[in-house]
Structure 1
Amino acid sequence: MRRFGRTLATAALAVAVVGGTAGWASGDSQRAVTGPPPGTGPWRADTVSGRALPDPARATPHEVARFFAGLDEAERLALVRAHPLVVGNLDGAPPSLRYEANRLAIAATGEARYASLGAPDRQILAFDPRGRGQVAEVFGDLEHPAHVSVIVPGADNDAAHHDARRTPATGPAGMARALRAATDASTAVIAWVGYTTPVGVGLDAADGRLAEAGAVRLARFTAGLDAVGAPDPVLFCHSYGSVVCGLAARHTDAADLVAFGSPGMRADTAAGLRTGARVWAARGPSDWIADVPNVRFAGIGHGADPTSAGFGARRVPAADVRGHTGYFAPGTGSLAAFAAIAKGELR
């Protein structure tokens, strides 16, 4: 009975924190963008040389890869021009085709907030304008990489803001650029804002609803990398993004899973993630995430602290990290360790 009382008290504390105390801000409730990309209806109605196109909702990324492997260049480009939003978001399609499709899709929106994403030197692997917008951007060569890393960000990220002006080496694109610079030409880094993130730190950030939807999308995205021959990725999961990674862990082929600035991963231990990946965790001394109660009760909270001894993750040095977003700052021990993990040098 005493234990139940402590659980209720802890849960009450979590609700109080979410309600705006202990430095948390309020957030707007978001509706998760799910399902196949825009334009799926006309795609399903189309054919190539009399053959049906793979259904974006049902075909696996490996089936998609086999379909494109059977097309000639003219047929591939015809699909890009006719269905850019589908091809650009179709996991398993060749990356170069997806880049070209997304340039067309971004231009077609006519929206100034997305214009910079359509620049010729950018490699946009996914672009979905629904809701606040989702995007995945590649830094480096995804066609022949020795190593692949994926940045999975937390709250307040979307297609328009993933590369917004902010402190260097923060935000999805900033983290990806910093990691790419700290590794070498054989490493490709992807900034993946492929799910609907919470806005602010309110109830959306405290429950798992958006993370559950995001985990499905992340698992399919990593399957798409595998389908085009990319090596098993390292997932770098920041803040609420670590909740997404925790829920997706057993459905991905990740080689390593790195949680940093994490409120919890919806598992009591690293073993509870049920993944073959090596699990790492980092938290800086001034990261406000330390003030978030590590509880799970009635759907609120994300459970154990991944940096705690009992969780069982490998620790990443973070003594010189400043704040909640400073983990990729040049010169930090965390960035050096992240780069070693990305290159398979730290095990």
Structure 2
Amino acid sequence: MGRITRSLVTAVMVTAVVAGTAGWASGTAQKPVTGPPPGTAAWRAAGLPDPERTDPGGIARFFAGLGPEEWQRLVRTHPTVVGNLDGAPLELRYAANARTAPGLHPGARVLAYDSRGRGQTVLVYGDLATAERVAVLVPGSDVDSGRMDSLTRKATALRGATGGRTAVVAWAGYTTPLGVGVDAAAGDLAEAGAARLTRFAEGLRAAGVRPEPSLFCHSYGSVVCGLAAQGLKAKDLVVFGSPGMRAENAAALRTTARVWAAKDPTDWIDRVPYVSVGGYGHGTDPTAPGFGARVVPAGDAAGHDGYFAPGTSSLRAFAAIAEGDVR
């Protein structure tokens, strides 16, 4: 096949990928938020540990060497850093974000709030410090600090379905695509999100959260989880409404977590071509028999966003996975 022919075939397949997610024009290009938290320059100038060069374990050791008065001084003087510093004590992060995060989220505490870009927010339902089970929800497109409703509904539904026994984290901690255009068909935002998700999980462990989390990854969030899988210490990796995980099969994820997948027959994601060409598309359908994931029943989850609806088989299965009630 000549170069011109190959280029033409690639162009046709890429167009099919994006057309399958409703077309080029329906999304707006996004630049991922990366790097250390806002306020880091002043934090560094004070001689405090560099958030870019210090891993979450090092951050935890730094705070362990301070007394309560110094902790509170850092919350007062550097709230935007402390509130987003993976590895810092949970209670200090909550206190710092109470100073900076706008709005109220009933029943939740703010574990991270980054005002850059469209805003990134991480909410906690329950007590991470004492919970025996932890679930982390990773959303897909169109979620940011100003648009958390869909994610918080899922988080509260899962917590309720576990009888309040599982602490649930609503992790809107990366720059999501807007709409279903080129960003949603590409992997750039997912790669940036995967790095942030991996560090976040490391920060939970460093801060004393003992249970390995079960991750529930929706739509484009499953691409994030697929790219992060190898570096995550997780009990379960559950994807639903997934366009693919940028992996040929579950073994290619190189994870010790149990891999689960759900897709409702009415979910429009099923019209997305499961291909990967020229950096676009996310590969194999995780619910396909050859992928190797454990399939979660989802026949009564209406559409793309109905997997956590009350009374659905998918919500019951998700709760059982989070609680460790399935083998």
Question: Following the alignment from structure 1 to structure 2, what is the Cα–Cα distance between the partners of residues 257 and 6?
Answer: 36
- CA shift, 1:344, in A, is 1.1
Structure-to-structure mapping, 1:31-110, within 5 angstroms: 31-46=31-46, 52-106=47-101
- CA shift, 1:104, in A, is 0.7
- Residues 123, 299 of structure 1: CA spacing in aligned structure 2 closer, same or farther, 3 A cutoff? same
* Structure 1 counterpart of 2:129: 143
Question: Following the alignment from structure 1 to structure 2, what is the Cα–Cα distance between the partners of residues 8 and 262?
Answer: 27
Question: Following the alignment from structure 2 to structure 1, what is the Cα–Cα distance between the partners of residues 73 and 56?
Answer: 20
Structure-to-structure mapping, 1:1-347, within 5 angstroms: 12-18=12-18, 20=19, 23-24=22-23, 26-46=26-46, 52-106=47-101, 114-117=102-105, 122-163=108-149, 171-230=150-209, 231-347=211-327
Taking structure 2 as the reference length, the TM-score comes to 0.94
* Structure 2 counterpart of 1:167: none
Q: Deviations over 1:120-149 (max 9, x none)?
A: x64000000000000000001111110110
Q: Is the 8 A contact 2:269 2:304 kept in 1?
A: yes
- CA shift, 1:16, in A, is 3.4
- Residues 115, 185 of structure 1: CA spacing in aligned structure 2 closer, same or farther, 3 A cutoff? closer
Question: Following the alignment from structure 2 to structure 1, what is the Cα–Cα distance between the partners of residues 158 and 39?
Answer: 34
Question: Following the alignment from structure 1 to structure 2, what is the Cα–Cα distance between the partners of residues 277 and 6?
Answer: 38
- Residues 21, 276 of structure 1: CA spacing in aligned structure 2 closer, same or farther, 3 A cutoff? closer
- CA shift, 1:9, in A, is 5.2
Give secondary structure in 2 for the equivalent of 1:35: coil
Give secondary structure in 2 for the equivalent of 1:258: strand
- Residues 21, 141 of structure 1: CA spacing in aligned structure 2 closer, same or farther, 3 A cutoff? closer
Identity %: 61
Q: Deviations over 1:231-250 (max 9, x none)?
A: 11111000000000000000
Question: Following the alignment from structure 1 to structure 2, what is the Cα–Cα distance between the partners of residues 284 and 14?
Answer: 25
Instruction: Give the aligned residue type for 1:39.
Output: G
Question: Following the alignment from structure 2 to structure 1, what is the Cα–Cα distance between the partners of residues 297 and 76?
Answer: 47
Give secondary structure in 2 for the equivalent of 1:116: coil
Q: Deviations over 1:277-317 (max 9, x none)?
A: 00000000100000000000100100000000010000100
- CA shift, 1:160, in A, is 0.9
Q: Is the 8 A contact 1:10 1:295 kept in 2?
A: no
Q: Is the 8 A contact 1:14 1:293 kept in 2?
A: no
- Residues 7, 149 of structure 1: CA spacing in aligned structure 2 closer, same or farther, 3 A cutoff? farther
- CA shift, 1:21, in A, is 6.0
Instruction: Give the aligned residue type for 2:64.
Output: A
- The count of corresponding residues between Structure 1 and Structure 2 is 322
Question: Following the alignment from structure 2 to structure 1, what is the Cα–Cα distance between the partners of residues 215 and 78?
Answer: 30
Question: Following the alignment from structure 1 to structure 2, what is the Cα–Cα distance between the partners of residues 21 and 226?
Answer: 39
Question: Following the alignment from structure 2 to structure 1, what is the Cα–Cα distance between the partners of residues 133 and 7?
Answer: 43
Instruction: Give the aligned residue type for 1:179.
Output: L
Q: Is the 8 A contact 2:10 2:278 kept in 1?
A: no
Structure 1 alignment gaps of length 5 or more: 47-51, 107-113, 164-170
RMSD: 1.8
- Residues 64, 22 of structure 1: CA spacing in aligned structure 2 closer, same or farther, 3 A cutoff? closer
Question: Following the alignment from structure 1 to structure 2, what is the Cα–Cα distance between the partners of residues 281 and 198?
Answer: 22
Taking structure 1 as the reference length, the TM-score comes to 0.89
Q: Is the 8 A contact 2:108 2:126 kept in 1?
A: no
Question: Following the alignment from structure 1 to structure 2, what is the Cα–Cα distance between the partners of residues 254 and 336?
Answer: 20
- CA shift, 1:273, in A, is 0.4
Runs of 4+ more than 3 Å apart:
5-11, 20-25
- CA shift, 1:13, in A, is 3.9
Question: Following the alignment from structure 1 to structure 2, what is the Cα–Cα distance between the partners of residues 122 and 293?
Answer: 37
Give secondary structure in 2 for the equivalent of 1:55: coil
Q: Is the 8 A contact 1:148 1:188 kept in 2?
A: yes
Give secondary structure in 2 for the equivalent of 1:189: strand
- CA shift, 1:184, in A, is 2.9
Question: Following the alignment from structure 1 to structure 2, what is the Cα–Cα distance between the partners of residues 123 and 213?
Answer: 25
Question: Following the alignment from structure 2 to structure 1, what is the Cα–Cα distance between the partners of residues 81 and 10?
Answer: 46
Question: Following the alignment from structure 2 to structure 1, what is the Cα–Cα distance between the partners of residues 84 and 158?
Answer: 24
- CA shift, 1:15, in A, is 1.4
Q: Deviations over 1:243-275 (max 9, x none)?
A: 000000001101100010000000000000011
Instruction: Give the aligned residue type for 2:216.
Output: F
